[in-house]
Structure formats: structure tokens, C-alpha cells
């Protein structure tokens, strides 16, 4: 594993927390690999319907996608503020929660944050992403629902896991936007989805006259593919690297 052009070892940057690790149990380790397959299958399954009539199809797809993302977060990821649990060896004892019943702990500690992340990303991230899409050239006077739904999909793919693990701390999000965090599976999802959505605009002007070239199918497709690639690469090849700009 050699550092690539834009990525360098952690040691070079300023001290920062380590990358997010998948929870240390069998289910998490297995599901984290199944999850992207499930998400891509869902999209593949819905693709025809989305091409045929994007607005209702994308709306319907949001629900299973949301469920999957909640499941992914709850099963595989450490919730925000629980780094201690993950990196117990490094920061022993910090913020450790008092013992509770196993089920109650799972609900309080995992499912609720997961639902919260879903709500926040839908309410906060989607409008911001929609504005970003418009700044990047999305139609401004028409197709509002299309653009909004595209933004919602990107935010479910990219933002839900991030909010789950990092919360809504401003400083943290500053670092996320400025690409200062070390790459991990969750951050890889964000970078992958966003780059994928951006690259998804390339086929639109081609004169292939295919139905799927219409707005916003390619963007959403790019985001899904980018999500899977980013998650895979972020979790393996580039894990722990920091993005270097100079």
C-alpha cells in the first residue's frame, strides 16, 4: 500500500483523531460488506422505474434507502460521542456510559442516533445539497422535485452515516468540508457520493438519446456508484490517509 498523489500519511498532518473503525463484532464486519451490495441492488431494482418517472420512483426509493442506512449505521458504526468504545485501548474510560440492559442500550445508543441522523440529514443536509446542485447547474426554474429528490438521495447516502458517527459539531463539520479528516469507510461514502454525483453530469449532453440521460438520473446513479466505491476504497486502500492538497 503506497501513498498516492493526493493522500499522505497521518503523521504529516496536524494531530487529529484516528479514522472511524467498524464496530468490533462479527455482525458489523459482515454487514459492512453486504450493505453496499444491498444499496446498489436496491438502486438497480428501482432503476427502470426511476428512468420512467423519476419523481415518484425516487420518492419511494427513499424509504428503503433510509432503512438500509439506519441499519448500516446501527449495526456497523460507533455512534457519535462513543469513540471511547471503539478506541478503548487508546482512550480508556473516557465517556463510558453506565451499564444498561443490552436491548435498551442498543435502542438508546444506536437506533435513536441513527434515526436522528436520518432526520437531520433530511432536514438540514438536503436543502443545502439542493442549493449546491443548483449552483452546479441543476435546472433553476423547472424540475424542482427532481433536484430535491436527488439531493435527498445524496444526503441519505453520504450524510446519514457521517452524522451518526460525528454528530452535528460545527468544528467537526468544518473539518469534513475542508477534507481534513482522515479517510475511513464513512468519510469515503461522502467523498465517493459527491464526486460520483459530479461525474454523473458528464453523460447528460451526449446525443445518445437514451431515457436515462434525463435529469437527475445520471446524477443519482453517479452518487450510488460513488457511494459504493468510496466506501470500499475508504475502508481499505486509503484508510487512515489524509487528503493532501499541496
Partner 1 sequence: MARQTLLFALANVLIPVAILVFATGFFPYKPFMPGLATFEELGWEDKFGWTEAPEPKFDKLVFMVVDALRSDFVYGKESGMEFVQSLIRDGSAIPFTAHATSPTITMPRVKAMTTGSIPSFLDVILNFAESDTSSTLAAQDTWLAQLKAKEGGKLVMYGDDTWLKLFPDFFARADGTSSFFVSDFTEVDNNVTRHVPEELLNTDWNAMIMHYLGLDHIGHKAGPRSPNMTPKQIEMDGIVQQIYQAIENEDHLSNTLFVLCGDHGMNEGGNHGGSAPGETSPALVFMSPKIKKITEFRERESPIDGKGEGGFEFYKKIEQSDIAPTLAGLLGFPVPRNNLGVFIEDFLFFWDDASDRIQLLLRNAKQMKKIVEATFPSLNFEDKVRDIEKECGGSLNSGVGLSCKWQGIVQIMDTTAMLHPKLRMDQIYWFSRAAQEIMSSTASNYDVPRLVLGSSIALVSFGLTLIALWPQLTSISSTGVFSTLTLALYGILMFASSYVEEEHHFWYWITSGWFMYLFIFESRKEWFRKFAFHPAIMLLAIHRIIRRWNQTGQKYAGAPDISHSAFLQGGNSLVLWSLVGATYMDITIRLSRHIARSIAYSTSENSAALSKVAGARDVEPEDTDKDRFMGTLAVLPLGVTAFVFKLAFTARDAPELVQGIGAGMLVFVEGLSLVGVARMVFVGLALSASWLGMVEWKMGRDKRKRGGSGGGGFAPALFDIITLLLITQTRAQNIPLYLLFRLQIFFLTLLSPTPLQTTLTTLLLTHVSFFALGNSNAISSIDLSNSYNGVSGYSILAVGLLVFISNWAGPIYWSLAGLLLLSGATSVSGTAAKVLDEREIAASSRTWVAQEREFLEKVVETESEQAKFLSDRKVEKRAWESWKRHVGLLTLFQAGALVAVMGACTVLRQHLFIWTVFSPKFLYAMAWGVGGHLGVSVLLGGVVWGAGRL
Residues 178-210: b if buried by 16+ CB within 10 A, e if exposed: eeebbbbbbbbbbbbbbebbeebbeeeeeeeee
d(CA 225, CA 222): 5
Contact 244, 208 (CB under 8 A): no
Contact pattern from residue 75 through residue 114 relative to partner 1, giving x for each residue in contact according to CB under 8 A and a dash for the rest: ----------------------------------------
The nearer residue to partner 1, 116 or 180, going by C-beta atoms, is 180
Contacts of 16 (CB under 8 A, 6+ apart): 10, 175, 180, 181, 182, 242
Tell which one of 60, 105, 136, 236 touches partner 1 (CB under 8 A).
136
Cβ 208 to partner 1 shortest distance, Å: 8
30 binds partner 1 (CB under 8 A): no
Contact 216, 147 (CB under 8 A): yes
Give whole-number Cα distances, 239 to 1, 165, 229, in Å: 10, 16, 13
Tell which one of 202, 210, 211, 214 touches partner 1 (CB under 8 A).
202
d(CA 133, CA 49): 23
Cβ 145 to partner 1 shortest distance, Å: 19
Tell which one of 51, 71, 204, 232 touches partner 1 (CB under 8 A).
204
Q: Residue 18: is the preceding peptide bond cis (ω within 30°)?
A: no
Binding segment for partner 1 among 61-69, 79-87, 117-125, 198-206 (CB under 8 A)? Answer: 198-206
Tell which one of 180, 232, 233, 240 touches partner 1 (CB under 8 A).
180
The nearer residue to partner 1, 6 or 100, going by C-beta atoms, is 6
Residues in the site for partner 1, rule: CB under 8 A? 5-6, 134-137, 140-141, 174, 177-180, 198, 201-202, 204-208, 244-246
Amino acid at each position: 500500500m503506497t501513498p498516492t498523489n493526493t493522500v499522505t500519511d497521518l503523521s504529516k498532518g496536524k494531530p487529529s483523531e484516528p479514522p472511524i473503525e467498524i464496530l468490533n463484532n462479527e455482525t458489523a464486519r459482515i454487514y459492512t460488506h453486504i450493505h453496499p451490495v444491498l444499496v446498489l441492488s436496491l438502486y438497480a431494482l428501482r432503476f427502470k422505474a426511476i428512468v420512467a418517472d423519476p419523481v415518484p420512483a425516487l420518492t419511494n426509493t427513499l424509504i428503503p434507502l433510509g432503512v438500509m442506512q439506519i441499519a448500516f449505521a446501527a449495526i456497523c458504526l460507533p455512534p457519535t460521542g462513543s469513540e471511547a468504545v471503539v478506541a478503548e485501548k487508546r482512550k480508556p474510560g473516557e465517556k463510558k456510559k453506565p451499564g444498561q440492559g443490552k436491548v435498551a442500550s442498543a435502542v438508546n445508543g444506536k437506533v435513536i442516533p441513527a434515526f436522528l441522523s436520518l432526520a437531520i440529514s433530511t432536514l438540514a443536509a438536503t436543502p443545502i445539497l439542493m442549493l449546491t446542485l443548483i449552483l452546479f447547474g441543476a435546472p433553476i426554474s423547472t424540475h424542482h422535485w427532481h433536484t430535491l429528490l436527488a439531493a435527498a438521495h445524496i444526503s441519505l447516502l453520504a450524510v446519514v452515516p457521517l452524522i451518526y458517527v460525528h454528530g452535528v459539531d460545527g468544528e467537526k463539520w468544518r473539518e469534513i468540508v475542508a477534507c481534513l479528516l482522515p479517510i475511513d469507510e464513512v468519510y469515503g461514502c461522502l467523498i465517493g457520493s459527491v464526486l460520483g454525483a459530479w461525474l454523473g453530469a458528464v453523460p447528460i449532453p451526449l446525443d445518445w438519446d437514451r431515457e436515462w440521460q434525463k435529469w437527475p438520473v445520471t446524477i443519482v446513479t453517479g452518487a450510488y456508484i460513488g457511494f459504493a466505491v468510496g466506501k470500499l476504497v475508504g475502508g481499505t486502500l486509503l484508510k487512515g490517509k489524509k487528503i493532501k492538497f499541496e
